[in-house]
A and B are shown apart, each in its own frame.
Chain A
Amino acid sequence: MADFSLQTLAAQAFTGLVLGGILVLLATGLSLIFGLMAVVNFSHGSLYMLGAYFGVFLLTFTKNFWVALIGAPLLVGLFGLFMERFLVRPLYGRSPDDPLLLTFGLSLVLVELVKLIWGRIGLTLDPPPALAGGVDLGFMVFPAYRLFILAVTAVTLLGLWLFLERTNIGLIVRAGTRDPLMVRALGFDLGRVWFLIFGLGVAMAGLAGVLAGPLRGVYAEMGFEMIIECFVVVVVGGMGSLVGAIVAGLLIGEIVSLTTFFAPKASELVIFIVMAVVLLVRPSGLFGEPGLAE
């Protein structure tokens, strides 16, 4: 059995925070898209993977990690714009399951496409030497790069908050989430906003991917492993709720981290049990819109 010292516990908890960070980035992107457009983007995991691959591509091209870090999400975001315009937009007004099915198919295609272009062997994404060392936090020595992930997540979320709360487009997004009909009636081109937000949500997945690349390596199937966890986080937090995505992401990150350490066999199951329990008690997730679920 594991030792229960306060130090170990603190170390575990801190690691869970970092794991949660990647999940939060993924989940907020997914929730943003669903909240505004009621589109379940099943290809979110593959777009995360695409972000990692674009990151490697840019890094190899420019030899500059920072360019890769900014450029990869931008490229994925651009792809997201293309997706919305040509793949998702034709499906509005049809069965709500259709975008889910389409993005499911897309996720399979993206994995194979990536293998065709970049080969079957995985790739390496290395952080810059500046971030390669460790930082002494007192209760443990923590890799600097993981702290960097936390920092980037925090900055991104702050940026997102400012965008939603302080800009005009953000205002339209928030209103459009609450009542799209009304917003249209008031004369706003919601279609354009949907277009942009889809790109933004997808770009966040790309950012999560390029950040995660150095942790576990870059390979075509990396998205499939994340997509289910991502969905669980979004559902637990409440589909469409950004606060929910953040809280649930960190919560799930912590729970998985602690369970993996103390009861490894249960670690795969625990997120589903948590989800089931949460949905029992709060039908729309922790912060979700009531009425959507029953």
Chain B
Amino acid sequence: MDRRYFLGTATATAATFAFPAILRAQSSGPIKIGFPLPLTGPFGAIATDQQRGAILAMEQVNARGGVLGRQIEVLFRDDQLKPAVGAQRTKELIENEKVDFIVGGLAAHVQMAINEQAKAAGKLFISISQSDEISAKPDSGPLTFHEALNPTITGRAVGGWGVKNLGKAWWIVYADYAWGKQNDAVFTSVVEKAGGKVLGHTPYPLGKPEFSTHIPKILAAKPEVVLAAAPGTDSVAFAKQAISFGLKKQTKLMMPLHFVYFAKEGGADLFADVYAGTSFYWELENTIPQAKKYVEAFQKRFKETPDSYSGYGYSGIMEVVRGVELAKSTNSDAVATALLNNPIYDHYKGKEWWRKCDRKAFQDLWIVKGVSPARGEWGYYDIAAKVPADEALDRTCAEKGYA
């Protein structure tokens, strides 16, 4: 027998016996993912939805043995919808809990506060709610991923569909803060590019939805479509006032985004025939097999129906896990690289992918229309159209400040 061969075999054999020891040393404890979200505050219902999606993902992953032989643990922290608190909770997750990754955030200003802390600590952050800035320079870092839709994509999709199908003369009512202003700008540009015209703009102070003084003016201008970029309960107030002043009878109403929680809060009548965009709606289970699987698992686990943001929570956690599996490591840089080299995924509604230059996720979205009466407890919408994922719906990386 050749001495070299013998040595080689002996070494290989020894290594094989030693390998489990190395494995054991690494798989000490679960892989931790930090998840800041506003469980208290005006968007608590949506945050709970995100949380449930994340819990479902965590439990499914652990049920199949975890990843790299380790279980995953998602640690939820209340950020109270405040950036300062979000920043502090992120610090706690990173320094105290020693999380490997962060997923979460609802509302742009809190996301960016979370992002700043994650960037400083070199941790991968998958942000899961609307923000144009989070995937652009200077806020975005090499480990900042954005799973959710943003105002530009939503605006171009919803506005593009609206100007083709509902009418060319528009009026835009918007809350006077970043999200509202971004929607105003995007919808205006989309409508005008398609040959339509925005007859007027009505900014209003966020949280003070008093439109009684404006609606007569809007009525007088006779728009075919009124867009209301009013978040949360403001949208309920707007819908109420639109009805009571007769605006709804005269024009079509559109909103960039809608959630079944506010449909429930306002009642089916309030949002009937109102068009909006959404990243996911549970009745898609009737047409999309992945959605059916997701919705059924969710309903079984929580005895509740999932809304759009639960999908973000679910997909965010699943992507972290997929990245860890691909990279065979919990190092954030390695996981980021792995995700960008294998950008296509599909966890609950169809194909999504990461764009390499800005780590932005592209996904299908749908235009929904409110129905009354609702079908059962949560059947508030009909699906009017699907807008397939398309990078042309977002700004180019050059426009976002990347070289």
- A–B contact (CB under 8 angstroms): yes
Tell me the nearest residue of chain B to A221, going by C-beta: B42
What is the CB-to-nearest-CB distance from A12 to chain B, in angstroms, rounded to a whole number?
5
B237 within 8 A of A: yes
Given A134-B246, A265-B176, A265-B203, do A122 and B233 touch, yes or no (CB 8 Å)?
A: yes
Q: By the criterion CB–CB under 8 Å, are B246 and A216 in contact?
A: no
What is the CB-to-nearest-CB distance from B250 to chain A, in angstroms, rounded to a whole number?
12
Report the bound CA distance from A269 to B44 in whole Å: 29
Report the bound CA distance from A152 to B252 in whole Å: 34
B142 within 8 A of A: no
Q: By the criterion CB–CB under 8 Å, are A146 and B246 in contact?
A: no
Given A120-B44, A146-B212, A257-B213, do A216 and B205 touch, yes or no (CB 8 Å)?
A: no
Q: Which residues of A contact B213 (CB under 8 A)?
A: 11-12, 15-16, 257, 260-261
Q: By the criterion CB–CB under 8 Å, are B217 and A2 in contact?
A: yes
Q: Which residues of B contact A140 (CB under 8 A)?
A: 216
B264 within 8 A of A: yes
Partner of A121, one of B45, B202, B205: B45
Q: By the criterion CB–CB under 8 Å, are B44 and A216 in contact?
A: no
Q: Which residues of B contact A126 (CB under 8 A)?
A: 267
* Residues from 214 to 236 in A contacting B, C-beta threshold 8 Å: 214-217, 219-221, 225
What is the CB-to-nearest-CB distance from A17 to chain B, in angstroms, rounded to a whole number?
11
Q: By the criterion CB–CB under 8 Å, are A216 and B209 in contact?
A: yes
B204 within 8 A of A: yes
Tell me the nearest residue of chain A to B214, going by C-beta: A261
Given A124-B265, A267-B205, do A217 and B237 touch, yes or no (CB 8 Å)?
A: yes
Partner of A141, one of B41, B246, B265: B246
Partner of B233, one of A3, A112, A141, A216: A216
Q: Which residues of A contact B270 (CB under 8 A)?
A: 124
Tell me the nearest residue of chain A to B235, going by C-beta: A217
Report the bound CA distance from A217 to B176 in whole Å: 20
Given A120-B45, A260-B204, do A18 and B217 touch, yes or no (CB 8 Å)?
A: no
What is the CB-to-nearest-CB distance from B7 to chain A, in angstroms, rounded to a whole number?
67
Report the bound CA distance from A115 to B44 in whole Å: 10
B245 within 8 A of A: yes
What is the CB-to-nearest-CB distance from B42 to chain A, in angstroms, rounded to a whole number?
5
Report the bound CA distance from A11 to B218 in whole Å: 13
Q: By the criterion CB–CB under 8 Å, are B212 and A15 in contact?
A: yes
A19 within 8 A of B: yes
Report the bound CA distance from A199 to B244 in whole Å: 33
* Residues from 33 to 48 in A contacting B, C-beta threshold 8 Å: none
Given A143-B245, A145-B244, A219-B233, do A122 and B265 touch, yes or no (CB 8 Å)?
A: yes
What is the CB-to-nearest-CB distance from A276 to chain B, in angstroms, rounded to a whole number?
19
Report the bound CA distance from A16 to B45 in whole Å: 33
A165 within 8 A of B: no
A264 within 8 A of B: yes
A268 within 8 A of B: yes
B266 within 8 A of A: yes
Report the bound CA distance from A115 to B41 in whole Å: 10
Bitwise, B41-70 to A at CB < 8 A (1) or not (0) is 110110010000000000000000000000
What is the CB-to-nearest-CB distance from B221 to chain A, in angstroms, rounded to a whole number?
10
* Residues from 5 to 64 in B contacting A, C-beta threshold 8 Å: 40-42, 44-45, 48
Q: By the criterion CB–CB under 8 Å, are A217 and B233 in contact?
A: yes
A8 within 8 A of B: yes
Report the bound CA distance from A221 to B237 in whole Å: 14
B207 within 8 A of A: yes
Q: By the criterion CB–CB under 8 Å, are A264 and B176 in contact?
A: yes
Given A214-B240, A215-B240, do A121 and B264 touch, yes or no (CB 8 Å)?
A: yes
Q: Which residues of B contact A157 (CB under 8 A)?
A: none
Report the bound CA distance from A134 to B216 in whole Å: 13
B236 within 8 A of A: yes
Q: By the criterion CB–CB under 8 Å, are B212 and A120 in contact?
A: no
* Residues from 257 to 280 in B contacting A, C-beta threshold 8 Å: 261-262, 264-267, 270
Report the bound CA distance from A119 to B42 in whole Å: 11
B346 within 8 A of A: no
Report the bound CA distance from A134 to B242 in whole Å: 12
A123 within 8 A of B: yes
Given A2-B217, A19-B210, do A217 and B266 touch, yes or no (CB 8 Å)?
A: yes
Q: Which residues of A contact B48 (CB under 8 A)?
A: 120
Partner of A225, one of B208, B241, B261, B267: B208
What is the CB-to-nearest-CB distance from A208 to chain B, in angstroms, rounded to a whole number?
15
* Residues from 236 to 294 in A contacting B, C-beta threshold 8 Å: 257, 260-261, 264-265, 267-268
What is the CB-to-nearest-CB distance from B360 to chain A, in angstroms, rounded to a whole number?
30
Q: Which residues of A contact B208 (CB under 8 A)?
A: 225, 260, 267-268
Bitwise, A138-151 to B at CB < 8 A (1) or not (0) is 00110101100000
What is the CB-to-nearest-CB distance from A47 to chain B, in angstroms, rounded to a whole number?
19
Q: Which residues of B contact A132 (CB under 8 A)?
A: 244
* Residues from 186 to 213 in B contacting A, C-beta threshold 8 Å: 202-205, 207-210, 212-213
Q: By the criterion CB–CB under 8 Å, are A217 and B240 in contact?
A: yes
Partner of B203, one of A123, A145, A217, A264: A264
Q: Which residues of A contact B210 (CB under 8 A)?
A: 19, 216, 257, 260
Q: Which residues of A contact B209 (CB under 8 A)?
A: 216
Report the bound CA distance from A225 to B237 in whole Å: 14
- Among B176, B202, B212, B267, the most chain A Cβ lie within 10 Å of the Cβ of B212
Contact sample, A vs B, 12 pairs, CB 8 Å cutoff? A112-B40, A123-B265, A134-B244, A140-B216, A143-B212, A143-B244, A215-B240, A217-B233, A219-B265, A221-B41, A225-B208, A265-B176
- A residues apposed to B, CB below 8 Å: 2-3, 8, 11-12, 15-16, 18-19, 112, 115, 119-124, 126, 132, 134, 140-141, 143, 145-146, 214-217, 219-221, 225, 257, 260-261, 264-265, 267-268
Question: Nearest 5 A-B pairs (CB), nearest first?
Answer: A120-B44, A216-B237, A122-B265, A143-B244, A217-B236
Q: Other CB < 8 Å A-B pairs besides A121-B264, A217-B240, A221-B42, 17 of them? A: A2-B217, A8-B216, A11-B216, A19-B212, A121-B45, A122-B262, A141-B246, A215-B237, A216-B209, A216-B236, A219-B42, A220-B42, A221-B41, A260-B213, A264-B202, A267-B205, A267-B208
